[in-house]
Amino acid sequence: MLLGPAEFMRIEIPREFDRLGAVRIYGLQKIYELDAGPEAELPGQEDAVVRSLPAEAIYGVQREMAIVVPVRGERLKLIEGVLVGIPNSCLVIVVSNSPREPIDRFFLEQESIANFCRFTRKQVVIVHQKDPVIGAAFAAGGYPELLDERGTVRNGKAEGMMIGTVLARMLGRRYVGFVDSDNYFPGAVNEYIREYAAGFLMHGGDHTLVRISWHSKPKIVEQALYFAKWGRSSRHCNHALNRLLSHHTGFETEIVKTGNAGEHALTLELAMSIRYATGYAVEPFHFIDLLEQYGGAIPSEHGDMRRLIRICQIESRNPHLHENKGEDHIADMIRGSLATVYHSRLCPPGLQQEIDAELRQGGYLKEGDSLAPVHVYPSLDKLDLGQFAAVAREAVERRVAAPASAA
Binding residues for ligand GDD (CB under 6 A): 70-72, 74, 95-97, 129, 155-157, 160, 180-182, 231, 233-234, 260, 262, 280, 283, 322-323, 325, 329
Q: Which does 74 bind (CB under 5 to 8 A by kind): Mg ion, ligand GDD, none?
A: ligand GDD
Report in angstroms how near the CB of residue 182 gets to Mg ion at its nearest: 4
Q: Does 315 bind Mg ion (CB under 5 A)?
A: no
Residue 72 vs 322, nearer CB to Mg ion: 322
Residue 270's identity, in one-letter code, is L
CB of 320 to ligand GDD, least distance (A): 9
The minimum distance between CB 334 and Mg ion, in angstroms, equals 15
Min. distance of Cβ 109 from ligand GDD in angstroms? 11
Q: How far apart are CA 291 and CA 304, in angstroms?
A: 12
Q: Which CB atom, from 47 or from 328, has the smaller least distance to ligand GDD?
A: 328
Q: Which of residues 180-199 bind Mg ion (CB under 5 A)?
A: 182
Instruction: Choose the contact partner of 244 out of Mg ion, ligand GDD, none; CB within 5 to 8 A by kind.
Output: none
Shortest distance (Å) from residue 183 CB to Mg ion:
8
Mutual angle of helices 186-203 and 76-85, in 10-degree steps: 40
DSSP letter at 154 equals: P
159 binds Mg ion (CB under 5 A): no
Rounded CA gap, 218 and 228, in Å?
A: 6
> How many residues belong to the site for Mg ion (CB under 5 A)?
2
Report the nearest approach of ligand GDD to the CB of residue 179 (Å).
8
User: Using CA atoms, how far apart are residues 170 and 36, in angstroms rounded to an integer?
Assistant: 36
Q: Which is nearer to ligand GDD, 112 or 155 (CB)?
A: 155
Of 65 and 237, the one with the shorter C-beta distance to ligand GDD is 237
Please state the separation of Cα 388 from the chain's center in Å: 23
CB-based burial of residue 185 (10 Å sphere; 0-12 exposed, 13-18 middle, 19+ buried)?
Answer: middle
What's the closest the beta carbon of residue 1 comes to ligand GDD, in angstroms? 35
CA 5 to the chain's CA centroid: 32
Q: Are the C-beta atoms of residues 90 and 200 closer than 8 Å to each other? A: no
Output the CA angle 243-244-250, nearest 5 degrees: 80
Compare residues 52 and 233 and give the one whose CB is closer to ligand GDD. Answer: 233
Residues 46-65 that bind Mg ion (CB under 5 A): none
Buried b (16+ CB within 10 A) or exposed e, 93-106: bbbbbbeeeeeebb
Phi, psi of 319 (to 5 degrees): -65, 150
Q: Concatenated DSSP letters for 164-185?
A: HHHHHHHTT-SEEEE--TTBS-
Q: Which does 191 bind (CB under 5 to 8 A by kind): Mg ion, ligand GDD, none?
A: none
**322 lies in the binding site for Mg ion (CB under 5 A):** yes
Q: Determine phi and psi for 406, rounding to 5 degrees.
A: -75, 155
Hey, is 68 helix, strand or coil? strand
Whichever of 40 and 71 has its CB closer to ligand GDD, that residue is: 71
Which stretches of the chain bind Mg ion, using CB under 5 A? 182, 322
